[in-house]
Structure 1
Amino acid sequence: MKKLSVSELAKLYGYSRQAVYAHINKGNLSKGSDGLIDFAEALRVFGEPQTKDSSVNQSQSINSQNLTEVDLLKRQVDILEKQLNLALLRENQSLERESFYQEQIEAMQRLLEAPKANMTTFTDQKSNQDIATDPRSESEPNYDGLTTPEIKRIPVPEHVEPEPEKRGFWSRFFLPNG
């Protein structure tokens, strides 16, 4: 059977090449491994070619262009709908994440505010203790396990010898003593 290229088929039926490619992409029309379309396949999809009037061919060409434009617009609408749905999903997730973090912040603030009423400082503890009932005498060191014991200061002489400059392993052997 006769085989036609896409442009030959478009001319024969009065369609645009884009319309023929649209039918191929939809799966209505198939091309062979050589890239040509079997005439029997074209007859099945488009029917008998009409060669009556050039105005009919032009109207078919315009209709096929309108169909391809409609198909393109439908694809664009589908893509835009998917993008919109994705954006709404991300916004929803963002709002959920924001409310979760807000709840976490509020919980942390409650935890930070709660101990303030019960907390006492070390100076408050000392004033609250009754010195007369304290079995420890003032001469004993006052070490309760919560604070560090008082450290005695050791006097440091005014003149301190500077430390010799540190030398690397190999410089000890190869450089003169300094």
Structure 2
Amino acid sequence: MTTQRTEPSTTADERTMLEGWLDYHRQTLAWKCEGLTDAQLRTASVEPSMLSLMGLVRHMAEVERSWFRRVLADEDAGPIFYSEDDLDGDFRTTEADTWQEAYGTWQAEIAKARENTARFGLDDITVGKHRRTGERYNLRWLYTHMIEEYARHNGHADLLRERIDGAAGD
């Protein structure tokens, strides 16, 4: 599989640009994981950190689910990889965890996010609320936050990939 990254148009309307940058960052994370074995994808950065590329993908599946299902659409979508007893479960990988499962789950959450966001305008307020703060958001805020979340974690992915096999790039 070769991940194609597409930068958004420099003259697009606001929604197209926000969705374009979000997709670009989603593609970047997939690209950073490309061509590695499950064991390499589970490789933690450096002790005591659990941070790994597979953990980042699992985390982003949880983040997509949280913002675009629970908060945006008020769906009753529980956690996938973490629990109340293990809030870092998305980052805690074992030899039983596979790229196929992590990637498939992440892509399913992205597909559901696209389905849910299609029903909202940028200024529409979320149906659900943030589970800790009780706040509501407009879709524009969610897109901007998700771009920031991916961009930050893609920086982590750059360092993780370089540590694993020396590959570096934008």
TM-score range, shorter chain: under 0.3
TM-score w.r.t. the length of structure 2 is 0.24
Q: Which has the larger radius of gyration?
A: 1
TM-score w.r.t. the length of structure 1 is 0.23
Structure with bigger RCO (C-alpha 8 Å, 6+ apart): 2
